[in-house]
Structure 1
Amino acid sequence: MLLHAWLLLVALTTLTSGINPGVKVKLTQKGLDYGREIGIASIQKKLKTIKLPDVSGSQKVNPIGKVSYSFTNMHITNAGLPQSAVSLVPGAGIRLSIGNAYMSLNGNWRVKYLKIIKDSGSFDLSVSGLSITTTIAVNSDETGRPTVTGNNCAASVGDVSIKFHGGASWLYNLFKSFIAKALRSALEKQICPLVADAISDANPYLKTLNVLAKVDEYAEIQYSMVSSPVISASSVDAGLKGEFYNVGKHQEPPFTPAVFTMPSQSSNMLYIGLSSYTPNSAGFVYTTAGALSLYITDDMIPASSPLRLNTQTFGTFIPQIAKQFPGLMMKLLVKAGKSPVITFESNNATIKASGTVTAYAIQANGTLSPLFVLNMDGSVSAQVFVSGSRLAGSISLNELNLTLGTSYVGDFQVKSLDRIFQMVLKVVILPKLNAHLAKGYPLPTIGKMKLVNTQLQILKDYMLIGTDVQFSG
């Protein structure tokens, strides 16, 4: 899995333009340390793939003269990275430091001297005190997704010890210092390219960032990048667009994100702040798409309810309906007039909405005869929660105010209809909305990223999600 788990967290922080974000992300030191644990295991695996070239040559040795030698079939048998640390370098990136690493390898040796005498055997080489440092730079590609590269890598080998097997023991000392120096150089040259490869191997995973995430047939949410990350000594802070769009049509809402400030918390690996701009852009999308309208018929009312959608029931409150349209079923059209507005206060999310209710009598031939139009204003409370990697919720009615817009049956007291429309809201409209809200919409994630130990707070103007993460696959 290479370094991708750690770098995928960092990926959420690579941004490119200059508008206020609708969503903010904070990656803490705890998050970096989690990624380091996975990344170190991946680098260790990568180092075991080192392939050292055969080494051959000749050396003049007194008193026997020129001795030809070769060291072949060298391969790594073990590698360990017991000490490592990751830190943030303001303005540069993320520094990975590895110390007191060790490696071991074995191979074959062969010598020829006095033109006719040959000797051979095997050897084991142990490397200790290996150190590696590199800086990981985070950028964005043409799609707005993050890419990572390793820069300024340095690797040095501490001690090298060799144990020869087979052959004449007096030959060993001739080559110990030479082969140790040659293999030290060969190792140091290969380590940094392998570390750079391990970092680059994360890029295919980074391409799975849900920059444009489908919500349903009406909406998708964009998590494109809006500014460069701000790297401090303790966290990486960045912003994502966090805006809903109509599927296939990117129409900006008539409002912009307000500035909000994330708190300096660090007990979780990752913090995601979602401003009221994000759900308000969703309201704009669904209103523009005409999705916030619903025809209500009598078969949608529970059979146990004494209130029915027919002219007999409504005639009890508006006698002229029963007189003009006796014995007919009715249909209601509930339609949003403008986009709902959500506000966040401490521990409270409130949605204010307005619209119209048009009542029709259904004639025997199916023709709809309009009876009246009511203006409707109300508010609901929202309960918000994280479900998997999605933000979900439910709503409950706070208040409902009805006023008469147009009447086709003469004047009547709108107040007398409150009971009916309270019932319609509670047993038909709110359950349908809650069923949709329970599905939630996707949070910014990459690959098989799982949110764990998640907490959600509603604060002034935004929601704060604190979470740890796990990666699999």
Structure 2
Amino acid sequence: MGMQSVAVACGALTLCLALTTATNPGFVVRITQAGLDYAQQQGIAILEKELAQLKLPDFSGKSGKVRYSFSRLRIPSFRLPHSRITPISNVGLQVSISNAFAELNGDWRVKYRFIRGHGSFNLKVENVDMKIILRLGSDTTGRPTISTAGCSAHISKVRVRFSGKLGWLYNLFHRVIESKLRKNLESKVCDIVAKSVHNELQTYIRTLPVTARIDDKIGIDYSLVASPRATAQSLDADLKGEFYSLAHRSTVPFSPLPLAFPSDHERMVYFGASSYFFNTAGIAYHKAGALVFEITEAMIPKDAGFRLDTSVFSAFIPQLEEKYPNMPMKFRLSTPTAPFLTIGPGGISFQPIVDVQAYAILPNSKLAPLFLLSLTGNVSAVINVRSGRIVGSLDVGRIRLSLKNSAVGNFQVQFLQTILNYLTSHTLLPRLNARLNEGFRLPLPDRIQLSNILVRFHQNFLLLGADVRFQPRG
């Protein structure tokens, strides 16, 4: 095999290894052109303020027999009326600004032979064209980064108007002054752009949460698994999208599947939450021991028509009356394994298995185990977005019971069907839905509000779309 063939084979092998070891995201964020345009409007407004504070140094010189000096240079306004932002593959974003204009004021002094004069001047800068390249990446912690990869500014027209008794001297050296001011401005404008990107834009995007704490047990990992990808239509960010235990983080026993992200573009931003994302929540909560619930007498609604005690169940479990007459009871619900859900075009569904351990509460407050049931049923979920958080609620169909073991003899579990259905729908489900109603924070930077929410289900992931609004401070 020749050296060229070896090189080709090695290249192909490297590519295959790269493809097979690539990490699929558990969560995807897509910013469409409409979203980029909105972000550009906010950024241009900030840049205009930064440019209006631009400081130019005093300068002096000689043109022929005229000595001049310019001082106290200040810019009362800098306007960027026409701009466009476009994604650039493998780089990031390009911002193009055309026909910008500015105004500059200052003081002048001249000496021409035996004549001295001073006054003020007004400089009008027109037809300013700029091109800014923004490079997008990520740091070692998975936080997004942004930097200026290139900047060019060109000023086509500069006009100076002098005031003062010797303003006519301007005609002797105006071309030199206009040229110096134009070159100075072109250089300083790009300095301001780089400073604004570093101080304003980079600082702001670092408010995007890499981790989001949900409660005292669970967090979400929103770190980037790769640098943001720019395409012709959008900017995509692949995030880990994984729930984890704050006390002890362990490896998830399965990997995210590829997401066939649709080409929707009606909203400014889209979020793709994969089934992996939701299933890691089940694993994290299960390992943290948070999927354990107790049902006691105090939780039974007053209008239920029954009490949670052994007298209710003794009608079909005779040994209860013999061993534990008229004693209060308690149910302890737990999941032997983490619940595993599926997402498809029809929505989110899963069939959790729940162990239901019944106890009698003895007079000395100790617990006497009665029987252990296995409970399962079809559960569906409704998902929405509120205040920048994914919120939801569960609905449980008719449950199915089986007896795993009993300390009070065998009995027909179908007799418990009605009671367990009631306890599940009136005590357990409200508690779960109250927690889900609090929601999980979406990966959004500070001061972003979402509106015009869209919710759609696709194979293996949930698609959320929204328009955004930036809320300034104060």
Question: For residues 323-472 of structure 1, what are the structure 2 equivalents within 5 Å?
Answer: 323-472=322-471
Q: Residue 265 of structure 1 corresponds to which residue in structure 2?
A: 264
Question: For residues 139-218 of structure 1, what are the structure 2 equivalents within 5 Å?
Answer: 139-201=137-199, 202-218=201-217
Q: Which amino acid aligns with 2:134?
A: I
- Provide the C-alpha distance between the structure 2 equivalents of 1:248 and 1:142, rounded to a whole number of angstroms: 23
Change (3 A) 1:160 1:311: same
1:274 and 2:257 aligned: no
Change (3 A) 1:248 1:290: closer
| Residues 345 and 458 in structure 1, CA contact (< 8 A), matched pair in contact too | yes
Q: Residue 4 of structure 1 corresponds to which residue in structure 2?
A: none
- Provide the C-alpha distance between the structure 1 equivalents of 2:228 and 2:62, rounded to a whole number of angstroms: 55
Aligned to 1:316, the other structure's residue is in SS state coil
Aligned to 2:209, the other structure's residue is in SS state coil
Change (3 A) 1:314 1:167: same
- Provide the C-alpha distance between the structure 2 equivalents of 1:303 and 1:69, rounded to a whole number of angstroms: 93
Q: Which amino acid aligns with 1:225?
A: L
Write out per-residue CA displacement over residues 2-51 of structure 1, whole angstroms, 9 at most, x where no aligned residue: xxxxxxxxxxxxxxx94111111111100110011111111111111122
- Provide the C-alpha distance between the structure 2 equivalents of 1:444 and 1:337, rounded to a whole number of angstroms: 31
Q: Residue 22 of structure 1 corresponds to which residue in structure 2?
A: 26
| Residues 347 and 457 in structure 1, CA contact (< 8 A), matched pair in contact too | no
CA shift, 1:108, in A, is 1.7
Q: Which amino acid aligns with 1:128?
A: E
CA shift, 1:161, in A, is 1.0
Aligned to 1:110, the other structure's residue is in SS state strand
Aligned to 1:399, the other structure's residue is in SS state coil
Which residue among 116, 119, 131 is the counterpart of 1:118?
116
Q: Which 5+ residue runs of structure 2 have no aligned equivalent?
A: 1-20
- Provide the C-alpha distance between the structure 1 equivalents of 2:168 and 2:302, rounded to a whole number of angstroms: 102
Change (3 A) 1:356 1:39: same
CA shift, 1:126, in A, is 0.8
Moved more, 66-75 or 405-414: 66-75
Moved more, 332-341 or 224-233: 224-233
Moved more, 159-168 or 216-225: 159-168
Q: Residue 36 of structure 2 corresponds to which residue in structure 1?
A: 32
Change (3 A) 1:348 1:57: closer
Q: Which amino acid aligns with 1:34?
A: Y
Aligned to 1:157, the other structure's residue is in SS state strand
| Residues 62 and 68 in structure 2, CA contact (< 8 A), matched pair in contact too | yes
- Number of residue equivalences: 451
- Provide the C-alpha distance between the structure 2 equivalents of 1:169 and 1:32, rounded to a whole number of angstroms: 47
Q: Which amino acid aligns with 2:445?
A: I
| Residues 18 and 226 in structure 1, CA contact (< 8 A), matched pair in contact too | no
Q: Which amino acid aligns with 1:223?
A: Y
CA shift, 1:131, in A, is 0.7
Q: Which amino acid aligns with 2:145?
A: T
Aligned to 2:303, the other structure's residue is in SS state coil
CA shift, 1:239, in A, is 1.1
1:131 and 2:135 aligned: no
| Residues 275 and 342 in structure 2, CA contact (< 8 A), matched pair in contact too | yes
Write out per-residue CA displacement over residues 363-418 of structure 1, whole angstroms, 9 at most, x where no aligned residue: 11122111111112222111111111110111111131111111111111111111
Write out per-residue CA displacement over residues 316-340 of structure 1, whole angstroms, 9 at most, x where no aligned residue: 1212211222121111111111111
CA shift, 1:249, in A, is 2.1
Q: Which amino acid aligns with 1:29?
A: Q
Q: Residue 290 of structure 1 corresponds to which residue in structure 2?
A: 289
- Provide the C-alpha distance between the structure 2 equivalents of 1:316 and 1:306, rounded to a whole number of angstroms: 16
| Residues 160 and 184 in structure 1, CA contact (< 8 A), matched pair in contact too | yes
CA shift, 1:254, in A, is 1.7
Q: Residue 60 of structure 2 corresponds to which residue in structure 1?
A: 56
- Provide the C-alpha distance between the structure 2 equivalents of 1:88 and 1:147, rounded to a whole number of angstroms: 16
Change (3 A) 1:165 1:353: same
Q: Which amino acid aligns with 1:365?
A: N
Q: Residue 91 of structure 1 corresponds to which residue in structure 2?
A: 90
Write out per-residue CA displacement over residues 95-130 of structure 1, whole angstroms, 9 at most, x where no aligned residue: 00100111111222212233x431222211111111
What RMSD in Å do the two structures reach over aligned CA positions? 1.4
Q: Residue 322 of structure 1 corresponds to which residue in structure 2?
A: 321
CA shift, 1:169, in A, is 4.7
Aligned to 1:225, the other structure's residue is in SS state coil
- Provide the C-alpha distance between the structure 2 equivalents of 1:170 and 1:228, rounded to a whole number of angstroms: 58
- Moved beyond 3 Å, runs of 4+: none
Q: Percent of aligned positions with the same letter in both sequences?
A: 40
CA shift, 1:141, in A, is 2.4
CA shift, 1:210, in A, is 1.1
| Residues 393 and 440 in structure 1, CA contact (< 8 A), matched pair in contact too | yes
- Provide the C-alpha distance between the structure 1 equivalents of 2:370 and 2:170, rounded to a whole number of angstroms: 106
| Residues 144 and 227 in structure 2, CA contact (< 8 A), matched pair in contact too | no
- Provide the C-alpha distance between the structure 1 equivalents of 2:230 and 2:305, rounded to a whole number of angstroms: 63
| Residues 372 and 407 in structure 1, CA contact (< 8 A), matched pair in contact too | yes
| Residues 299 and 427 in structure 2, CA contact (< 8 A), matched pair in contact too | yes
Aligned to 1:50, the other structure's residue is in SS state coil
Q: Which amino acid aligns with 2:179?
A: K
CA shift, 1:224, in A, is 0.7
CA shift, 1:351, in A, is 2.2
| Residues 142 and 225 in structure 2, CA contact (< 8 A), matched pair in contact too | no
- Provide the C-alpha distance between the structure 2 equivalents of 1:303 and 1:317, rounded to a whole number of angstroms: 23
Q: Residue 11 of structure 1 corresponds to which residue in structure 2?
A: none
- Provide the C-alpha distance between the structure 2 equivalents of 1:419 and 1:148, rounded to a whole number of angstroms: 59
| Residues 75 and 105 in structure 2, CA contact (< 8 A), matched pair in contact too | yes
Aligned to 1:317, the other structure's residue is in SS state coil
Q: Which amino acid aligns with 1:228?
A: S
- Provide the C-alpha distance between the structure 2 equivalents of 1:303 and 1:111, rounded to a whole number of angstroms: 95
| Residues 136 and 227 in structure 2, CA contact (< 8 A), matched pair in contact too | no
TM-score (norm 2): 0.92
- Provide the C-alpha distance between the structure 1 equivalents of 2:378 and 2:57, rounded to a whole number of angstroms: 74
Q: Which amino acid aligns with 2:184?
A: A
Write out per-residue CA displacement over residues 123-146 of structure 1, whole angstroms, 9 at most, x where no aligned residue: 111111111101000122232211
Q: Which amino acid aligns with 1:50?
A: L
| Residues 18 and 227 in structure 1, CA contact (< 8 A), matched pair in contact too | no
Aligned to 1:42, the other structure's residue is in SS state helix
CA shift, 1:304, in A, is 1.9
1:234 and 2:211 aligned: no
Change (3 A) 1:169 1:344: closer
1:247 and 2:221 aligned: no
| Residues 297 and 331 in structure 1, CA contact (< 8 A), matched pair in contact too | yes
